[in-house]
Amino acid sequence: MIIPALDLIDGKVVRLYQGDYSQKKVYANDAQSLFHLYQKEGANWLHLVDLDGAKDSSKRQFKSISALIRNTNANIQIGGGIRTEDDVINLLKIGAKRVVIGSLAVQQPRLVASWLHKYGPEKIVLALDINIDAQGNKMIAISGWQEKSKQSIRSLLEIYLPLGLIHVLCTDISKDGTLHGSNVSLYQELSSAYPQIQWQASGGIGHLNDIRAVANSGVSAVIIGRALLEDKFNVREAIQCW
């Protein structure tokens, strides 16, 4: 499955390079028109990141997000600094099909596990951003990649799998926003080790050949952001490759 992604700051479509707010590029003032385009070209799911909410939960863009959902027929999953159960409740209430939870899943696993149990595994996506060191250790980064946790991806998954975890969005940080291709070997390894998880690959897609490579890795979906914004290809072409 191809899942186009948009990152929002103050209602505008932007991209941060390697998660750095100081390296921001504005691509569009109208996210709705891009969502319509992606849906028209065949996307059934869309991925939205509220970067204002990620930085400061009191500035979550509920009004803009609600309007996007209300005027888009595609399913939308939303992330960006989810810190409280109210965030989950409010996003589901305005029509999000899935809520994407990142840092909190590492920092407070018992809390997030309770949400997984309460709202069901179809409603929760864990977003795990991975740093791979020289020894090949796959450690999770948190707080917009500004902090390194002491948690490996495998040890964290063992907490959630008994609760029926289904959806995991995994990003190799070194690949994000580079357009230099995905870490296919990472996704092959994870898909083989945890076939019960529907993996979403994220980061590095720059060409149609990158999609073909990821499609053969065992993941169930690939998130594509910058490449679509910069017209490297369109959604219809990406779906054909998939």
Model confidence pLDDT, tens digit, residues 53-78: 888 777 888 888 999 999 988 999 99
Give pLDDT tens digits for 149-162. 567 888 889 999 99
Specify the DSSP element, H or E, that contains 34: helix 31-40
Domains contained in the chain, CATH given: 2-241 (3.20.20.70)
Distance CA 69, CA 163 (A): 29
Marked catalytic residue, from 7, 52, 172, 176: 7
Distance CA 23, CA 85 (A): 31
Distance CA 239, CA 242 (A): 5
Specify the DSSP element, H or E, that contains 220: none
Give pLDDT tens digits for 165-203. 999 999 887 656 556 677 899 999 999 999 999 999 998
With a threshold of 0.85, does the pTM exceed it?
yes
Nearest to 218 by CA among 240, 186, 241: 186
Give pLDDT tens digits for 134-147. 777 776 776 554 55
Confirm whether 129 is a catalytic residue: yes
* Three-state secondary-structure class, residue 82: coil
Give pLDDT tens digits for 97-136. 999 998 899 889 999 999 999 999 999 999 998 877 777 7
Residue matched to tokens 């357009």: 179
End-to-end distance of the chain based on CA atoms, in angstroms?
7
Nearest to 203 by CA among 108, 137, 131: 131
Marked catalytic residue, from 50, 52, 129, 210: 129
Confirm whether 231 is a catalytic residue: no
